[in-house]
Structure 1
Amino acid sequence: MLKIALGQIEVIPGRPDLNTGRMLSMIAEARKEQADMIIFPEMSIPGYLLGDIWEQQAYLRDCEAFGREVISAAQHICVIFGNVAINWEKRGDDGRVRKHNACFIAQNGRLIGTRIKTLHPNYREFDDTRHFFSLRKLALERKQDIETLLEPVKVIIKGEEYNLGCIICEDGWNDDYSVDPIAALTADGRSDLLINISSSPFTLGKNNKRNRVFSKQAQEAGIPLIYVNNTGLQNNGKTVYTFDGFSTVYNSNGQIIAYCQPFTEKLEYIQLDIAAGGQSLGPVNVPDDFTIDSLHQCISYGVKKFLQAINMNKVVIGVSGGIDSAVCAALYASILNPADILLVNMPSRFNSQTTKDLSYQLAQNLGCLYTVMPIEQSVEHTAAQISDARITDLSSGRQNKLAVSSFVLENIQARDRSSRLLAGIAAAFGGGFTCNANKSELTVGYSTLYGDQAGFLAALADLWKHQVYQLAQYLNTSIFRREVIPQATIDLVPSAELSFDQSVDEGKGDPIMYAYHDYLYRAFMEYWNRTTPEDILAWYSQGSELLEQKLGCAPGLVDKLFPGPRQFVEDLERWWRLYTGMGVAKRIQAPPVLAVSRRAYGFDHREAQNSVYFTQEYIKLKNRLLSETLG
């Protein structure tokens, strides 16, 4: 029987000093509790998502030094932790000093084993191959079979010998790789216990899948499996990720027998009977992480940690009376003192009394500071300056003037609110101003650059519009337990209110039909094999029922929205052009996005500014479909 401590720590990226201090504290506590072993996550000393800090040799030397401190602290306890391993005599593929993502096993104040990460993810937010030399590359260099390098680590605890199969994060997600580290480590009963140290960002529903995958691995190997993940917040510049921990222990039957609460730094103990495969402990139920509760927990945790990381404790939010700004306001009000939140309503002549009243009601419900700053006068001044300016061709002396169209006037309003007012107010208030954009808007660029797409963080930009509504209801019913977001705001037609054509009192709103377009856009950017107009049109041509099934939208919706193929094609091409055209240009300059989904904008959705393209097969399908309709 081993008493094992799961060191689910909050890893602060780029602060090996703070991380090591917390680890040493946990080691001392675990030793006091007479634990036999303590396990920390992957890259628990340096952090994981560090950008090109990995190219700083001074930083690497610090990580090595802090690693030696942890090894020295392994007295009367076995310590397993993640750190960068450096081979100063070798070079990586980039010509820099060779670095490995490694698992260190220490006991009696000395290092007894190091295991290098075998599989390096190079998708989504991961870019391991940019910096680290994998075990696969090492095997190739040495002309050895990789399986010969995958050896368990032998430790002796209480006079008993244990073979530990130590793997790192992606090594446990090996279905699509040609190498199976777990099979190599567990063949012929070589390992007594599997240990997966990870630094795995939260994704809605990811733990549900992990539990299925890891349960199967433990069952097939016939030995217990321990998964230890970190909490905290890390980023790669454009995309911000929360780490939920959710460290879990599986017995040899694949049953979950212990876990750490998500989004909580925790030192959790478990008495594990290795010989009995951990079956002396009964199975426990774990929470479903594909729920609105998990979604809110992730966003709330992420916003709170982001504010702490940038040392911001005051926030300015532009509130319009609409759903996005209302949810943003309620979210921040649940995290900060309402007295540190300034809600600003900035009406023009196009804003209805309805939305102005809803903005006031929201502020009153939340107890936040509130002000109204009309923009009509300044917008008229800007429009007049532009339209009255004489543009001179210096080569000919000819002059003309610029016309301010209704579209240009809409953009002037949006930029006046953000670039001028909110930016200035935030500076005077001593804080920052938020970006309230949602994922649907970001997908097709339905926002104004340097206008409503500006801000220090886009906390809702990985939520489709229907998820924003779900979050609004959840904030009212489960967080505040009263109606802080007015029901009228939830019922209101979504509208930018930048012209009389967007009058909410007349039921006029956004051109996006969210009940359908949320799911179309999701297919464009979230599906693992991302769809194109060719796929969409192929499904549509086989019947709208098939398309609705593939997209996941409500049955009968497509035929209700589009009378025929021509209208359907026009809509499809409109949004595809925006998604792959102007939307890209705007996203490149968007604020950091807080990630919650299987693919978020930013580094998780790498894109280039190219011209819009329709495949040859799409053009054939389109022409055939439209000609059949005409015939």
Structure 2
Amino acid sequence: MLKIALAQMEVIPGRPDLNTDKMLSMIHTARTQYADIIIFPEMAIPGYLLGDTWEQQAFLRDCEAFGKQIIAASQDICIIYGNIAVDWSKRGDDGRVRKHNACFVAQNEQLIATRIKTLQPNYREFDDTRHFVSLRKLAIDLKQDVESLLEPVAVIIKNKEYHLGCIICEDGWSDDYSIDPITALTTNGALDIIINISSSPFTLGKNNKRNRVFSKQAQETGKPLIYVNNTGLQNNGKTVYTFDGFSTVYNGDGQIIAYCPPFTEKLEYIDLTIAAGGRDLSPVSVPDDFTTVSLYQAVSYGVRLFLQSIGMNKIVIGVSGGIDSAVCAALYASIIPPQNILLVNMPSKFNSKTTKDLAAQLAQNLGCLYTIMPIEQSVENTAAQLSGTPITKLTSNESFQLSISSFVLENMQARDRSSRLLAGIAAAFGGGFTCNANKSELTVGYSTLYGDQAGFLAALADLWKHQVYELANYLNTCVYGKEVIPQAVIDLVPSAELSFDQSVDEGKGDPIIYPYHDYLFRAFMEYWNRATPEDILHWYKEGSHVLEQRLGCATGLVDKIFPTPRHFIDDLERWWRLYTGMAVAKRIQAPPVLAVSRRAYGFDHREAQNSVYFTQEYLKLKHTLLSAT
């Protein structure tokens, strides 16, 4: 029997000093508990998402030095950990010193094995091939088959030899690759345990899939599999990721026999009988991570760690009486003291008494600071200045004056609230102001650049509108246990209230029909094979029920919204033009987005400012549908 410690630690990116101190403390604790092996996550020493910090040779030397401290601490315990492996004599594809994402095995104050990551992800937020040389590339350099390099690591514990199959994160997700590291390990010698060290960001529902994949691997090999992931927060500039840990142990039948709770730093122990493959331990049930509970955990955890990482403890939130700002306020008030939160209502002549009263009620329910700062006078002064100041062509001395349209006036209000008031209030208050935008708005640019799309963090920008409502109900029911977000806010028609045409008291609101457009936009943005108008029109042509099934929206909704193909196509083209047009420019300048979905805006959704394009097949389908009516 082996006593194994799962070191599910919070890894602080770019701080190998702090990470090493924590690892040494965990090693000491595990040794006092007579653990035989302690397993740390991938890149436990340096962190994983570091951008081009990987190009700093001084940083690499530090990581190596801290790694030696971990090796020196391996007396009477076997330590498995992730760090950068540097080959100073070679160069990578980028012309810089060659670097490998590696798993190190240390025992008796000696480094006994190094295993290099075989499969490097090059999708979503990952950029491994920019910095690291994989085992696949190294095999080419060595003129060897990569499979031959995937050998188990032999360690002697209690006078008995054990064979550990050490792989790194993506190596366990090999279905779409030509190489299967686990199959190679089982082919190249005796194998007792598969160990997967990972640095895997949270995605809603991802752990459910991981359990299916890793359970199958354990079952097919008949060997126990130990997965160790880190917790914490890391980012790549434009997108911020939480790491949930959820480290898990599977027995040789693929059953889960232990796991660490998500979003919690934990040193978990398991007594594993190798001969039985862990089958002597009772299976345990693991919580579903595709729930509102997981959504709240990820967003709350991410906001809390982000505030800690930037040293911010005072927050200003513009509250309109609408759902997005209400959820932001309730979310932040569950993380930092309400007296450190200043809620600001900034009404114009277009804001109803209904929403103004709801904003005040929200502040009272949460116990936050509250103020009302009307924008009417300043917006009128700006409009008067713009329209009343002559613009002159100096070569001919001809002059004209700008005309302020209703659309320009709407944007002026949004910018006055954010760029002038909230920015100034935040500076005076000693904090930052939030961006309350949701993912639906961000998708089609239904927000104002330098206005309501500004702020230090977009905490809700990876949540579709229906998820914002789910979070509102969860905050009331489960976090606060009372109605802090007034039910009237949840029931209110969503509206920007920037003109009388958006009067909430008359039931007028946003042009986005969220029960349908949430799902249409998701198809554009989140699907693995991202949908285009061509795909949407194909599904529509097959029947509304086919489209609804493909999108996942409610049955019968499409025909209720769009009486004719012309109405459907006009709507589709309107949002596609915005999504691939002006909205791109706005998203590029948006604040960092806290990621929770399978694809978030920012570095997770890399896009270029190109012209709007419709495929030839789409144009043919459009012609066919419109000619038939």
The alignment's TM-score, normalised by the length of structure 1, stands at 0.99
The AA in structure 1 aligned to 2:590 is A
Asked if residue 242 in structure 1 is aligned to residue 210 in structure 2, the reply is no
- CA-CA distance at 1:494 after TM superposition: 0.2
- 2: CA distance between counterparts of 1:280 and 1:17? 40
How far apart are the structure 1 equivalents of 2:170 and 2:303?
A: 27
The correspondence of residues 47-446 of structure 1 with structure 2, limited to 5 A, is: 47-187=47-187, 190-446=190-446
1:513 has 2:513 as partner? yes
CA distance in 1, matches of 2:186, 2:230: 25
Deviations 1:573-598 (A, max 9, x none): 00000000001000000000000000
Amino acid at match of 2:193: L
Partner of 2:621: 621
Query: Which residue in the other structure is 2:592 paired with?
Result: 592
Partner of residue 7, structure 2: 7
CA distance in 1 between partners of 2:36 and 2:191 (Å): 18
SS state of the match for residue 249, structure 2? strand
- Per-residue deviation at 1:275? 1.1
3-state SS of the aligned residue for 1:12?
coil
Q: Offset at 1:189?
A: 5.9
SS, match of residue 343 in structure 2: strand
User: What is the distance in 1 between the residues matched to 2:217 and 2:391?
Assistant: 71
CA contact (8 A) 2:151 2:188 kept: no
CA distances 1:535-591 after superposition (whole Å, capped 9, x unpaired): 000110111010000000000000000010000000000000000000100000000
Note the C-alpha offset of 1:177.
Answer: 0.1
* Corresponding position of 1:493: 493
CA drift of 1:191 comes to 1.1
Mapped to 2, the partners of 1:542 and 1:201 lie a distance apart of 37
Aligned-pair CA distance for 1:395: 1.3
Q: What does the per-residue CA deviation read over 1:345-402, in whole Å, with 9 as the maximum and x for residues that have no partner?
A: 0000000000000000000000000000000000000000000010000111100000
RMSD between aligned alpha carbons? 0.5
In the other structure, the counterpart of 2:449 is 449
Query: How big is the shift at 1:45?
Result: 0.1
In 1: Cα distance, 2:578 partner to 2:321 partner? 27
State the 1:51 CA deviation. Answer: 0.2
How far 1:188 moved relative to its partner? 7.0
Aligned-residue identity in percent? 80
How many Å separate the matches in 1 of 2:510 and 2:127? 37
Deviations 1:271-312 (A, max 9, x none): 000111011111000100000000000000000000000000
> Which letter does structure 1 place at the counterpart of 2:587?
R
Alignment deviations for residues 74-118 of structure 1 (CA, whole Å, 9 cap, x no partner): 010000000000000000000000000000000000100000000
Aligned counterparts of 1:499 and 1:72: Cα–Cα separation in 2: 68
| 2:150–2:188 contact (8 Å) kept in structure 1 | no
> What is the Cα deviation at residue 190 of structure 1?
2.4
Q: State the one-letter code of the partner of 2:501.
A: D
Q: 1:563 and 2:568 equivalent?
A: no
Q: Distance in 2 between matches of 1:146 and 1:598?
A: 30
Opposite residue 340 of structure 2, the aligned amino acid is D
Q: State how many pairs are aligned.
A: 629
Letter in 2 for 1:16: P
Contact 2:19 2:44 in 1 (8 A): yes
**More deviation, 435-444/388-397:** 388-397
Partner-residue secondary structure (3-state), 1:308 = helix
Aligned to 1:26: 26
Q: Match of 1:618, as an amino acid?
A: Y
The 2-side partners of 1:276 and 1:507 are apart by 65
CA contact (8 A) 2:168 2:198 kept: yes
Name the aligned partner's letter for residue 569 of structure 2.
V
Q: Distance in 1 between matches of 2:388 and 2:37?
A: 76
Aligned partner of 1:208: which letter?
N
Partner-residue secondary structure (3-state), 2:571: helix
Shift of 1:187: 2.4
User: Is residue 238–residue 591 contact of structure 2 (8 Å, CA) maintained in 1?
Assistant: yes
Distance 2:583 2:617 in 1: 24
Structure 1 CA distance for aligned equivalents of residues 338 and 120 of structure 2? 44
User: For the residues of structure 2 that align with 1:137 and 1:387, how far apart are their CA atoms?
Assistant: 63
Deviates more, 1:142-151 or 1:89-98: 142-151
> Aligned-pair distance for 1:63?
0.1
Q: SS where residue 281 of structure 1 aligns?
A: coil
CA distance in 1, matches of 2:117, 2:551: 37
Residue 39 of structure 2 corresponds to: 39
- Equivalent AA in structure 2 for residue 393 of structure 1: K
Distance (Å, rounded) in 2 between the aligned partners of 1:578 and 1:474: 32
Q: Matched residues in 1 for 2:449 and 2:245: separation? A: 36
Aligned-partner SS, 1:271: strand
SS at match of 1:113: strand
Letter in 2 for 1:53: T
Distance between the aligned counterparts of 1:565 and 1:167, measured in 2? Answer: 52
The answer on whether the counterparts of 2:151 and 2:189 sit within 8 Å (CA) in structure 1 is no
Which residue identity does 2:71 align to in structure 1?
A: I
Equivalent pair of 2:228/2:247 in contact (CA under 8 Å):
yes
Q: Aligned with 1:252: secondary structure? A: coil
Distance in 1 between residues matched to 2:602 and 2:221, nearest whole Å: 38
Q: Which runs of 4+ in 1 moved over 2 A?
A: 187-190
Other structure's SS at 2:628 match: helix
> Deviation digits for residues 381-432 of structure 1, max 9, x if unmatched?
0000000010000111100000000000000000000000000000000000
Residue 12 of structure 1 aligns to which amino acid in structure 2? I
Kept after mapping to 1: 8 A contact 2:434/2:458: yes
- Alpha carbons of structure 1 residues 189 and 139: separation in structure 2 relative to 1, 3 Å: closer
Structure 2 SS opposite 1:42: coil
Counterparts in 2 of 1:518 and 1:605: CA distance versus 1, 3 Å: same
Q: One-letter code of the match for 2:602?
A: G
Question: What secondary structure, in the 3-state scheme, does the structure 2 residue paired with 1:111 have?
Answer: strand
Aligned mates of 1:194, 1:562 — CA distance in 2: 54
